[in-house]
Structure 1
């Protein structure tokens, strides 16, 4: 694994920002160095300098490079306690509401979006829901839209699903295709998928629920505070923010703006 100095890291960050308008200045330094070192191996370049030159000379290289930097952490029905709480508590509060608006911020390859689609379908709320699923990684967005996943993860996803429990067996929601399984497209009929940079691009819509799970672990303290403020602005009064089990955001949560709704499920509620 290549060792990357602070100067080399800052040089790469400046190239990406000035040439492509993508800002990595808020990413946690150690994590970003590890991802860049992995990218050097994946793209078979000899050094940080060669990578720097490749970014300058090959304009289309930025797309696979960014995809490599933004590798996601997700699984269907990951952390079943969250999905049970949503079904048994949170979503019940919207049963009489005319419309439900949801934002999956940093949706990765879409497993969370399909999971929520199953929950909404079970509760007969999908028809009144509109959702936005966004991610910086364009390859992830395309896979999320397709909803196609390798068979190697099917057993784990099915195990998570069993803990959650629902009215249909897991195979009710997908079809098999050789070495993959494809989630039913009806589960995302209410979803718009969009490429979006959380750090640099504002969101103008208001939502009842915002998911941002295991995304902010890669951001520094300043970026975490900024994003929490943005999510506060994007939530309707009484709306819910759902974070990841590894995000470690408690020191950054403003208790004047968010109340703990369920700490085990990592759900917070806007209070002002």
Structure 2
């Protein structure tokens, strides 16, 4: 795999920012180098220079390139302890209509469908209004479709059983060949959009914001800026949910957020 120098990475970032207006300079350097190196391999390119040239010559190449850079790792009912705790959160909103939810960095939609199942179980789907966003256009398209490979279903089923040992997970999807299709009724309340967390503003207000295992890729200054953005976007008493690997707890301002459930990584706006 190609090894990038800091100078090569900085040059590439300048090309992308100047030509396409997309800023990757806030990404943690080591992680971003690995992702660019992987993309060079995936697209059968020889070097950083050949990638740089392709980005300059082929304007549409930026889309598959970004999709490769921002591939997310997620799963249905990932970290069951979170979803068990989140039921307590949702029960506090039984009298609220609508319940505004933001899935920031929704990836391929596993989290969005998981939330849809919780809302369905608690009879809150008709009260919910969610926004699911991601920079990766391919991921947003996949999230809308809700089609996942059968080979990952064993993991998803096991996660669901830890969350709910009574109900059958199979009732939420239909098998089709080597894929399964989740019921579109689970995301009837969701609007999907492409959105760049670093560069695009968010003017809406929300009761619940998810941003799980996304900020792990950003430097400390960007993490702090995004934490402020999420704080500003939350309604008073709203909930902010991070990933188990984001390593954000030391950066959380306890004057702005209280720990609702530290084990589940759920915080509440003060």
Q: TM-score, normalised by structure 1?
A: 0.98
- CA deviations 1:207-254 (Å, max 9, x no partner) are 000000000000000110000000000000000000000000012111
- CA deviations 1:101-135 (Å, max 9, x no partner) are 00000000000000000000000000000000000
TM-superposed deviation, 1:96? 1.4
Cross-structure match for 1:23: 23
RMSD: 0.7
Q: Is the counterpart of residue 218 in structure 1 residue 184 in structure 2?
A: no
Distance in structure 2 (CA, Å) of the matches to 1:81 and 1:168: 17
Distance 1:150-1:184 versus aligned 2 partners, 3 A rule: same
Greater mean alpha carbon deviation, residues 106-115 or residues 95-104: 95-104
TM-superposed deviation, 1:84? 0.4
Q: Is the counterpart of residue 242 in structure 1 residue 263 in structure 2?
A: no
Query: After superposition, where does 1:65-80 map in structure 2 within 5 Å?
Result: 65-80=65-80
Distance in structure 2 (CA, Å) of the matches to 1:210 and 1:109: 17
Query: After superposition, where does 1:164-203 map in structure 2 within 5 Å?
Result: 164-165=163-164, 168-203=167-202
- CA deviations 1:47-97 (Å, max 9, x no partner) are 00010000000001000000000010110000000000011x111110111
Distance in structure 2 (CA, Å) of the matches to 1:10 and 1:208: 38
Q: Is the Cα–Cα contact under 8 Å of residues 114 and 187 in structure 1 kept in the other structure?
A: yes
Distance in structure 2 (CA, Å) of the matches to 1:35 and 1:7: 16
Distance 1:192-1:167 versus aligned 2 partners, 3 A rule: farther
Distance in structure 2 (CA, Å) of the matches to 1:174 and 1:239: 31
TM-superposed deviation, 1:168? 3.0
Cross-structure match for 2:9: 9
Query: After superposition, where does 1:76-155 map in structure 2 within 5 Å?
Result: 76-87=76-87, 89-155=88-154
TM-superposed deviation, 1:166? 6.3
Distance in structure 1 (CA, Å) of the matches to 2:168 and 2:80: 15
Q: Is the counterpart of residue 159 in structure 1 residue 158 in structure 2?
A: yes
Distance in structure 1 (CA, Å) of the matches to 2:153 and 2:179: 9
Distance in structure 1 (CA, Å) of the matches to 2:97 and 2:133: 24
Q: How many residues are aligned here? A: 270
* 5+ residue gaps, structure 1: none
Distance in structure 1 (CA, Å) of the matches to 2:264 and 2:251: 18
Cross-structure match for 2:33: 33
Q: TM-score, normalised by structure 2?
A: 0.99
TM-superposed deviation, 1:6? 0.2
